[in-house]
Amino acid sequence: MKNIRNFCIIAHIDHGKSTLADRLLSFTGTTTAREEQAQLLDNMDLERERGITIKSHAIQMDYPYEGEKYILNLIDTPGHVDFSYEVSRSIAACEGALLIVDAAQSIQAQTISNLYLALENDLEIIPVLNKVDLPGANPEEVTDDIVDLLGCDAEDVIHASGKTGFGVENILKAIIEKVPAPNGDVNAPLQALIFDSVYNSYRGVETYFRVMNGEIKKGQRIKFVATDNEYNADEVGTLKLTQVPKQSIKAGDVGYLITGVKAASEIKVGDTITDAINPTQNIIEGFEDVKPMVFAGIYPVDTEDYEELRNSMEKLQLNDASLVFVPESSAALGFGFRCGFLGMLHLEIIQERLEREFDMTVITTVPNVSYHAFTNKQPNDILLVNNPSDLPEPSKLNRVEEPFIKATIITKSDFVGPVMSLCIEKRGQVTNQTYLTPERVELMFDMPLAEIVFDFYDRLKTVSKGYASFDYHPIGLKASKLVKVDILLNGTSVDALSALIHADNAYTIGKKMCEKLRQLIPRQQFDIPIQAAIGAKIISRETVKALRKDVTAKCYGGDISRKRKLLEKQKKGKKRMRQVGNVEIPQQAFMAVLKLND
């Protein structure tokens, strides 16, 4: 066990984690020249196209150093803030972390929040200054920033380049010398932590785990503590570029397990695996439950695909434990699911993965939260409003209560002004402001949850140039003056586009929604009125003009009454068409409502 090293790579998005991981793999001879390709561990097409890591990946490398053979388990983690849940799981399975900082971009928000996550888990941090070969690199200044952040010496910062492979040998040397070997008792009862799981359509669920104590053998009867289910370990092994089956995996090592489980819900990430006959008494402290930031409805385009969509979502939930969903229905869209996401990027990724991996074309509705409504008839009976269309008529309504949260934002002192004005614009009230250091400020706000589900997170990152971390917890419900803004297309209300909005903002948002939809809805043979309404009162209107055919083109000269007759005839046809014609709403229209400020 003393020759095992478990480490992960943490960094801000686009600081070169995956490229550096490629260099480590080729330097240790884990991959041959034939197998090499850019972003080797990112095996999803979507990850390669966007150049981002969405799932964390584990791989084992063998490396001889000073006459001894070492086993290095690397877990590559995502950098984007929406996937910080993946990062927290990977960190819990490691003893060390490579903190990578781009020599051209310096330290950024995610670097800091992932670093704190690693320090909370007592990980040994190895700072690496990447991309030192870039013409825009500024190694001396960025090294000083790293020294200030970590309190290490400037000599400890390893200079490297993921592109050329410069400095890779020093990184491997630092991993072996500085990262502590895992400590665990091979003779104790089995205790292993599940840090990831992948769905394989041929073999069921593949569980990735790290053994803390004891050992896991092929054919052993094992038990998952959280679900209390028992299985046989059909196959265990280590994760090289391909899976390598082994007879047993001992304490300190990382591996995969196949039990033949087909149902996604049976394996909980963060759960403890133990021996069914001789279970461990110490359950590993689990991860905190994932907190969805954005809730939206996902519906199949064809209602008959509802069951298929449910199966796809369950399989996707297995690959992405941070997706939460419950069934719901809508008048315009039929049956679907209300889903919780970590942020807008997460929502886009899930939608794209459903389309690519499962061939499911879906419609996503406007994000919102759950409200409590009270009617005049029964002022004490709570009516749960999950969908704006469930809200009673304004005349029958007594009051609406909406969930409030206590938001904690940590940012650099330069951005206090913009962050405060953003929160106040979102109906937030400042409750506290603390300077943690002369550079970093902690701001506390009470604000409605509904205001953060739209575009709050993305705008917070923009106004703070990425230097803001955000956390929240619910503090109960408060009565608010909310109104339901309906969108009518061609006189028909579209419930998937309606939203509950504070009365003060209703007019502005209604107007923006109409303007946005006018740009997105394709022109038809007839005029399409787009209206925003509160109850029976229309607050805004835009019109998508009809496509016109020039009926007077063949009428050279002649009397005006002749032209008039042709135009009147065309007008009648358009009127009849408008009565029977229905307006197709493109998918972007549902998403565009979220990006009203762009």
- Structure-token match 């250091």, residue found: 437
Classify the phi-psi angles of 200: left when phi > 0, otherwise alpha if psi is within -120 to 50, otherwise beta. Answer: beta
Tell whether 131 is in a known binding site.
yes
Q: List, in sequence order, the alpha helices (H) in 433-559.
A: 449-453, 456-463, 503-520
Helix, strand, coil percentages in the chain from 3-state DSSP, rounded to 5: 30, 35, 35
Which phi-psi region, left, alpha or beta, contains residue 196 (left: φ > 0; alpha: ψ -120 to 50)? beta
16 known ligand binder? yes
Amino acid (one-letter) located at 541 = R
- In the beta sheet, which residues pair with residue 479? 401
Q: Where are the beta strands (DSSP E) in 189-288?
A: 191-200, 204-213, 215-217, 221-224, 229-232, 235-239, 243-246, 248-250, 254-258, 272-275
Q: For residue 506, what are the β-bridge partners?
A: none
Q: Provide the sign of the torsion angle of the four alpha carbons 245, 59, 258, 183, taken in this order.
A: positive
Q: In this structure, what token pair is assigned to residue 319?
A: 């690959």
Annotated binding residue 320: no
Burial classification of residue 470, based on how many CB atoms lie within 10 Å of its CB (0-12 exposed, 13-18 middle, 19 or more buried): buried
What the block records as the tokens of 429 is: 């009230």
How far does CA 396 lie from the centroid of its chain? 39
Q: How far apart are CA 174 and CA 124, in angstroms?
A: 11
Q: Confirm whether residue 132 is marked as ligand binding.
A: yes
Question: 7, 1, 6: which is closest to 183 by C-alpha?
Answer: 1
Residue 15 is labelled as binding a ligand:
yes
**130 annotated as belonging to a binding site for a ligand:** yes
Q: Tell me, what DSSP letter sits at residue 508?
A: H
Can you tell me the distance from the alpha carbon of 195 to that of 52, in angstroms, rounded to the nearest whole number?
Answer: 20
CB 11 within 8 A of CB 52: no
CB neighbours of residue 381 within 10 Å: 9
> Which residues participate in the annotated binding site?
14-19, 130-133
> Which residues participate in the annotated binding site for GTP?
14-19, 130-133
